[in-house]
Structure formats: C-alpha cells, structure tokens
C-alpha cells in the first residue's frame, strides 16, 4: 500500500525509450503493472498523443522529476506535473552526479520538505543511506525508493547487504527498489528480500522483445513475493541431509553381506 492506495501488482513500469507507442501500450498490459512513471520532459516532447496513451492504459500515473539537478527545479517540475496529470503523487529525483546519476541527498531532502508541506505524496529516489532515509520520513515521505544500482546500469542489487539492512531498519515503511535492475532474476531477488515493489524501465524498454520481457518481469516479481511470504529457507554453511537418519535400517557387515548375496 502506497499513500493509502492498495495495489495488487508490485511492479512499477517506466514509459521511456520504447520503440513505438504501440509496443509501450502492449508492454504495460503484459507486465500487469498498475503504476506507470512518466517524466514531465518526456511527456512534453511527445505531446497530447502520448498523454492520451498513458491515460487510456487505465494505470495510475506517477510523474517524476527526472533530469532535475536542483531542489528548485524539482519543485517547479513537480508542481507542473500535478497540474498536468491531476495527481499528488510524484517520484522525486534530484540528480547530484552526472556520471552515476546518484541523487543529491541535500537537494533531495530540501525538495522533499517543500513538496510534502504542499501536500504532495512523495516517492523519493534515494541511496541506501539510513540517515537520509530517516530525514526523508521526518520530512513527510511515507515511501522510500533506494536504488539497486545506478540508473540504466542493469547491475541489479549492487550493495545487497546494505539494502538488507535498509529493509530491516525501515520495517514499517513501504520500500521500493528503484533503478539498476536488469534481469527478472534480480527483481525476484529484491522481492525475496522483502521489498514492497520494484520500479524499472530500461530492462524492458530496450529488450529485443519488450512485451515478452515485461511479462517476464511481472511473473518474476510475483514469484519473488510469493517466496518471501512462504518463508525462504535460511542459508547454511554446511550440508544438511534432507533424509533423516532416524528410522533407517542399521546394517552391520554380516547383514550387508547377506543383502549383497
């Protein structure tokens, strides 16, 4: 549940880089995703037809502030998105490093405080830093979105132990893995670790068959969550026999000879 909205699908799907609007529409349908993200800059470039396609999908739209590098720029973009799409939801991105696309923690927190005060329901793209996560919650965010790896890198969960600690630390907060997921197995792994959802774009949009890949991700995420809820077996350092020793026949040397005769 995100900001009191109950969703069935745990996949959030981006809408950029698809080879055609028809492929995008088919991928959204195949994925089963109920939330789709859209950059205001992308929407502006594509025009009314793109906006109509998104609305016709019947999915909840999560606008984002992709490409913003200052808190002021992100706040202005969010305000424009609210007017354009009629939603208080906003995925907040404030990029601080041009190469890694790592968020600027200071500008991110500043923008989050302003937007939460204005009634926005903020989904902040952040790192796995626990202190920053605490400050974002104090600012009014009720969802956290740490990266798995740099945007578009396909590296998966690059700092898995840190993300595991993050999930445990914010046990009562919805946490979404955002960015860096390149394969359905990586998305399933995130779900097995107890994260609430996965947001991705490039791995589907740039696949040879985006529609089939969208379906694969939807299936993997559902399977990963099912495994988490069923209770995964703990990892062990030594082998443990699956067949118990209790009840097995105790064959001595004589008995063994007779059995082989």
64 annotated among ligand-binding-site residues: no
Sheet holding 197-200, edge to edge: 145-146, 121-126, 89-92, 60-64, 35-39, 11-14, 197-200, 176-178
Q: Rounded to an integer, what distance in angstroms lies between the CA atom of residue 86 and that of residue 164?
A: 35
Q: Is the Cα torsion angle 53, 205, 214, 201 positive or negative in sign?
A: negative
User: At CA 60, angle to CA 58 and CA 64, rounded to 5?
Assistant: 135
Catalytic-residue membership of 260? no
Residue 201 annotated as binding?
yes
Taking the C-alpha atoms of residue 95 and residue 67, their distance in angstroms, rounded to an integer, is 7
**179 annotated to bind ligand:** yes
**Pick the catalytic residue: 59, 91, 167, 215?**
91
Q: Closest Cα to residue 196, out of 235, 161, 229, 156? A: 229
Q: Are 194 and 221 in contact (CB under 8 A)?
A: no
For tokens 């893995």, what's the residue? 177
What residues are labeled active site?
91
Bind-site residues for 1-deoxy-D-xylulose 5-phosphate: 152, 179-180, 201-202
């Amino acid at each position: 549940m995100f900001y009191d909205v109950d969703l069935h699908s745990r996949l959030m799907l981006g809408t950029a880089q698809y080879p055609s609007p028809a492929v995008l529409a088919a991928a959204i349908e195949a994925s089963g995703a109920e939330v789709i993200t859209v950059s205001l800059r992308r929407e502006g470039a594509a025009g009314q037809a793109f906006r109509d396609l998104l609305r016709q999908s019947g999915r909840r739209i999560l606008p984002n502030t992709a490409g913003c590098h200052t808190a002021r720029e992100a706040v202005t973009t969010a305000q424009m998105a609210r007017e354009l799409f009629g939603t208080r939801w906003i995925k907040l991105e404030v990029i601080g490093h041009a190469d890694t696309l790592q968020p600027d923690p200071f500008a991110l927190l500043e923008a989050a405080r302003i937007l939460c005060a204005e009634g926005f329901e903020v989904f902040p793209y952040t790192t796995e830093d626990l202190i920053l996560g605490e400050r974002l919650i104090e600012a009014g965010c009720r969802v956290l979105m740490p990266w798995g790896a740099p945007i578009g890198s396909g590296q998966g969960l690059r700092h898995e132990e840190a993300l595991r600690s993050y999930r445990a630390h914010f046990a009562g907060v919805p946490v979404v893995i955002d960015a860096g997921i390149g394969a359905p197995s990586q998305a399933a792994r995130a779900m097995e670790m107890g994260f609430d959802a996965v947001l991705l774009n490039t791995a589907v949009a740039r696949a040879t068959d985006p529609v089939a890949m969208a379906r694969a991700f939807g299936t993997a995420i559902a399977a990963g969550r099912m495994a988490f809820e069923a209770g995964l077996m703990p990892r062990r350092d030594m082998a443990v026999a699956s067949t118990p020793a209790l009840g097995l026949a105790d064959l001595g040397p004589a008995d063994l000879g007779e059995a082989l005769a």
